[in-house]
Amino acid sequence: MDKFQAMQVFTRVVEANSFTMAADNLGLPRATVSTTIRNLERALQVRLLNRTTRKISLTPDGASYYERCIRLLADLEEAETSFRDVARRPRGRLRIDTPASIGRSILIPSLCEFHERYPDIELVIGMGDRPVDLVQEAVDCAIRVGELQDSSMVARRIGTFESLTCAAPSYLEAYGEPRTIKDLERHHAVHYFSARTGRTIDWDFVVDGVATEVKVKSIVAVNDSDAYVACGLQGFGLIQPARYMVRPHLESGQLREVLTGWKPSPMPISVVYLHNRHLSPKVRAFVDWVTELFGRCPLLGGECHAGEMPQECEFACEPTGHTVRSVIEQHNLAESVF
């Protein structure tokens, strides 16, 4: 058995999440791919993949072996690349994952810029608010909001998630404008809950430099960022969205900011990837580009001034060969990330 080829076949099966698709990508018969995986498991004396009629998934041993394979294959690719034309552009399929609101508001409007700079990279974009398993779901890198817990990831801080408290004028006319945190006792909020756990996300404010949770009554709760803003626009209560999500509504007067002296706790925004993929030219290209993109967006750094969002590109270009492809994957929302 050619172990190098077996590692290539194995990683392609994991990333395609399909024996058939992996076979098509490699130009091999499906039976050859299946046999290669069986022989590899026999040689290693462990089961690498759980197989059902509908899907495949990595076993714990398979996840560990996959990471090692990726590292070895990336090292080999880097070694070969160093002897090729250094000006060769990054290429290949790059699968990323991002919170839905960041994808819609920040990434998608700027994809033409990315495509013009890296025309040989095919983007596959998953948009949801649950933390994905980069190994199990074959994701190359992800944008995440909040403090990171997984020390096995490489993370680069690219921005700050700044929220605000606001409401529709109709709500404020009916209930008055809260002037202090204590005033919230007589107000209603639109609540946001985790679809995975069902837990409602409590509000918090920075009071005298300390993050303080505040409970606010509610008459409606949702688990979708668009629905959350829509409920606020309809006057169902106060909301605490990201500033970049509601900038147009603030400028038009459809929403009004309140409690400007008490801000919700800011959260870091990071781009993360597996430690063994930092040598991949396509991952490096995306990480550098998204860092630059967020760096020139004031709404992701704390200060907000009208008209300072990056200019939106008209995403009407039709790249040949589907070089830029946005795959919007509907996920259950697991955390308080819009």
pLDDT at 251 over 90: yes
pLDDT at 337: 45
User: What token pair was written down for 236?
Assistant: 């169902």
pLDDT at 286 over 70: yes
| pTM over 0.85, yes/no | no
Average pLDDT over residues 11-33: 88
CA distance 187 to 216: 7
Q: Which residues lie closer than 8 Å to 209 by C-beta, 6 or more apart?
A: none
pLDDT at 12 over 80: yes
pLDDT at 219 over 50: yes
Higher pLDDT, 229 or 267: 229
Closest CA to 317 of 70, 111, 89: 111
**Which residues pair with residue 167 across a beta bridge?**
256
CA distance 183 to 74: 57
pLDDT band at residue 299 under the 50/70/90 scheme: low
Average pLDDT over residues 202-229: 88
Instruction: Name the phi and psi angles at 205, rounded to 5.
Output: -135, 150
Q: CA angle 223-226-228, nearest 5°? A: 55
pLDDT at 172 over 90: yes
pLDDT at 72: 84
Q: Which residues lie closer than 8 Å to 96 by C-beta, 6 or more apart?
A: 123, 124, 125, 126, 139, 140, 141, 142, 143, 286
pLDDT band at residue 311 under the 50/70/90 scheme: very low
Tell me the pLDDT of the chain averaged across its residues.
Answer: 80
pLDDT band at residue 21 under the 50/70/90 scheme: confident
pLDDT at 279: 59
pLDDT at 317 over 60: no
pLDDT at 238 over 90: yes
pLDDT at 237: 95
